Structure 1
């Protein structure tokens, strides 16, 4: 089995420099984001996406090219960032970086810790692996879920997770059950 993790294309709030998280105000893709999604070159047997609009739109564009249906998995959503959502990223970057360094600490305002995000995303990926054994899935999601799906660190144990850059429309392939 292979999972092709795809981060959504550029969104309106990426351009505005705003923290998106799960905010319903984050908007959809920009024209460039739609172009990025159309340029994704990955093949699979099914497409599964986060239920957030920017990921769903990316998945729909890829699905049209491949002639595949799109399945929705809410467990692939971006981290819930509480009071940080909608704020200018530059103003809160030290707080966000601190969440990745101390992964059991939740963000201000009732958000989700990196450890919680890790548990949620890994449960969702395990469900997908069980439902689609021996398939190649295209999984359209967000930067946070891609980071926790590909890290060798264990944030549940308090290990810091590197906040590596994950560009829009980046594809990273993982093999569940294989060493990271």
Structure 2
């Protein structure tokens, strides 16, 4: 079943809680979205609030994907660079698909919706994102046309003695 994507949906208390639950569930399933399991909702909440503040300031946009039952299944945050020298770039952050919806093509659909949103944004020529090494995510993004633009060895510490590379990926839209 396909997801329905909405860019900048109204932020209701229900949607806020659904995003918080999604982020927590993805993190606890081992998803590379800023936390290491086990994580509780209250540990994720400050990061979600930070994203919502950036949305209120007009710096970040939420892309939400709902399943046929209306349940939140996927999200990504899109942010235009605040640096005037890279204002032509759009960053994707906290890209996630709920574990129960993974393996169904929803990640590809989310990325296609994010690309469409970027293409519809005046002046955007490049999408950029970073991913944590050790998950094979760079292969997933490469399959969507992204290319590795840089790698910071050991930049992400998921546990003592377990450092992962931060991999910067870009998709030129030209």
| TM-score strictly above 0.5 | no
* TM-score for the superposition, normalised by structure 1: 0.33
Higher helix content, 1 or 2? 1
* TM-score for the superposition, normalised by structure 2: 0.34
Of structures 1 and 2, the one with the larger relative CO (CA 8 A, separation 6+) is 1
Higher strand content, 1 or 2? 2
